Amino acid sequence: MPYLQITDLHTHFTQRGGSIFSPTKQVVRAVDGVNLTLEKGEILGLVGESGCGKSTFSRTIMQLIPATSGAVVLDGEDLSKLSRSEVRRRRLDFQMVFQDPYASLNPRMTIFSTLAEAVRQRHPKLRGSSLFNRVETLMATVGLDAKVMRKYPHEFSGGQRQRIAIARALAPEPKLIIADEPVSALDVSIQSQILNLIKTLQKDLGLTMIFISHDLGVVHYIADRIAVMYKGKIVESGPAGTVFYEPKADYTKRLIASIPKLATYGEPG
């Protein structure tokens, strides 16, 4: 069985149609019958334009939005069948990195406090020098100097804040990380640094990740496999090089054609 298996996943919303006085309702099929698998230590790139259902899909996997139907099986356990309390217990195993690192960090907490809190989710009895050493190691893992751990989020650049957000996601020792547009708010040079950091973490830690982006060039660089999403459905999937260089779906071809010629991230490793 794959490490993560998503089977016939649907997430639908009902909303009123027409004016606010209209009784008619329409169903929005944000995720509409998705089937995907992810192996341990693999990065799956999920790509598609804004509004295609990527974020709803990620939040459904995280159990932040309930699925209408289908299954999300992580390491042999169907998350979609768990109670709310059981989901909270399992959520240590699947963490998220968001697009805006500043909005996702508590501005009133130092970096040490932020990371220490995340570490104690997995190791509640960890205190003192052991806790300090764990936070120090996390910061070194994402390329930050431990000397700055007493600073606050506003004292860091966007790229540094995203490194902190990645460290926080790693802190509870999760089985799966979902990164939702983690570099789209950064300039190109900083994007490259964060992408290379993720590739290094995959190699060193065996990181398992779903990397979500609207930019197929970024996804091609970072991912082992690519799934292309359009209107809530997966229209094409396969090895990153195959999807990028030999696309079959017309929508994938349009995404490739829209990539700026200067937006290069190097060859996939």
Query: What is the pLDDT tens value at each position of the chain, 269 positions in all?
Result: 899 999 999 999 987 766 666 667 788 999 999 999 999 999 999 999 989 999 999 999 999 999 999 999 999 999 988 888 888 888 889 999 988 878 889 999 999 999 999 999 999 999 999 999 999 999 999 999 999 999 999 999 999 999 999 999 999 999 999 999 999 888 888 899 999 999 999 999 999 999 999 999 999 999 999 999 999 999 999 999 999 999 999 999 999 998 876 455 554 44
Q: What pLDDT score does 22 carry?
A: 63
- List the end-to-end C-alpha distance of the chain, in Å, as a whole number: 26
Q: Assess contact for 17 and 26: CB atoms under 8 A.
A: yes
Would you tell me how many other CB atoms lie within 10 Å of the CB of residue 150? 11
The reported pLDDT for the residue numbered 266 is 52
Q: Are 71 and 78 in contact (CB under 8 A)?
A: yes
Helix/strand/coil percentages in the chain, nearest 5: 40, 25, 35
Half-sphere exposure of 60 (CA within 13 A, CB side): 28
d(CA 193, CA 188): 9
Paired strand residues for 69: 10
178: closest CA among 203, 199, 224, 209? 209
Tokens representing 106 are: 């508590």
d(CA 197, CA 65): 29
Q: Which domains does the chain have, with CATH numbers?
A: 4-101+175-257 (3.40.50.300)
- pLDDT score, position 241: 94
| pLDDT number for residue 260 | 75
d(CA 228, CA 48): 6
